Amino acid sequence: MKAIMVTGGAGFIGSNFIRYFMESHPDYLIINYDNLTYAGNLNNVQDLAGSSKYVFIKGDICDTEQVEKVLKDYDPEYVLNFAAESHVDRSINDPLLFGKTNVLGTLNLLYCLQKHWQGDGYTSKRFLQVSTDEVYGSIANLEDYFDEESNLLPNSPYSASKAGADLLGRAFYRTYNFPIIITRCCNNYGPYQYKEKFIPNSIIKALKDEPIPIYGDGTNRREWIHVTDHCAAIDQVLFGGKPGEIYNIGSGEEVSNLEMAEMILKYLGKPTDAIVKVADRPGHDWRYALNSDKIKSFFQWKCNYSLTEGIKETIKWYQENRDWWDEK
């Protein structure tokens, strides 16, 4: 049985991907390798624990000895790196942690895999680095879009650490012919997203009848994709993508932060005066928007969720899973 290793598989996107992959490819063994930091939650994958085709290993991607042991024990054909510190506010307060996990952790994975796979010339092997549109920086107008050839101009410690990881991946491809593929996705939303993130935080605040804080004037714009559509895109790129290539993954649907908060309040029947504008964070990017023509033309991939139906479904999930997010 072929094995696939997913780092950060107890987090938001990683856990959704594991669930998606198990349903789409039942003949694979999935190794979920996660250090269970604050955003990693085994409750995200508790329904998979009894499967003979699923293994959980608590581990740090920065730990060379432990990563090498997992590779030796399971010899995965594919490795997908979802493991990352990912909250911009946290990166501003603790940039060293983001550099360690996102840059050095990715470097350690590349190093261990390069040694483990090089014996057979990387035949049929793939490493997929899950990155972000934030590595491109900010767009100052409503007309432009980032494509895969756009310059990397990150503006936060988080986005800089992800850009650094992407560049290390590129270096391993050019130096060792290492079989890396990089995906850069717009903002995700959906079930199991940690409550500090903007959409779950806004939903939870609204459900508790608490004020929803919005940075600055609320005009900052984000492109949003349902996590399941992101997982479907990753699945296609993993098997059909070309090593050394980058693939943007976007929905084409963008709204301002203020519009998103108003949408959530409207669906819940709450007054919009619950929104409170607070001091902006340092270096706050104004707009992200991706040109995703490459993945659409290569794979005929498209989103199945519209933003309106996806947000409604996400709100319903948080309403029905209060035990998952509510602090006792």
Give the residue numbers annotated as catalytic, written as ranges.
133-134, 158
250, 133 Cβ separation under 8 angstroms: yes
Residues 133 and 146: their CA atoms lie apart, in Å, by: 8
SS3 115: helix
Q: What is the DSSP letter of 101?
A: I
Beta strand 126-132 with 3-7: parallel, antiparallel or unpaired? unpaired
183, 118 Cβ separation under 8 angstroms: no
241, 180 Cβ separation under 8 angstroms: no
Q: Residue 212: count other Cβ atoms within 10 Å of its Cβ.
A: 24
Six-digit token string for 269: 């029947």
Which of 159, 185, 192, 188 shows the shortest CA–CA distance to 89? 159
Residues 9 and 97: their CA atoms lie apart, in Å, by: 19
Residue 29, phi then psi, degrees to nearest 5: -90, 130
Residue length, the chain?
328
Q: Residue 132: count other Cβ atoms within 10 Å of its Cβ.
A: 21
Which H helix or E strand runs over 223? strand 221-226
SS3 305: coil
Six-digit token string for 38: 């604050």
Six-digit token string for 328: 């006792």
Q: Residue 213 contacts by C-beta under 8 Å, 6 or more apart in sequence?
A: 205, 276, 277, 278
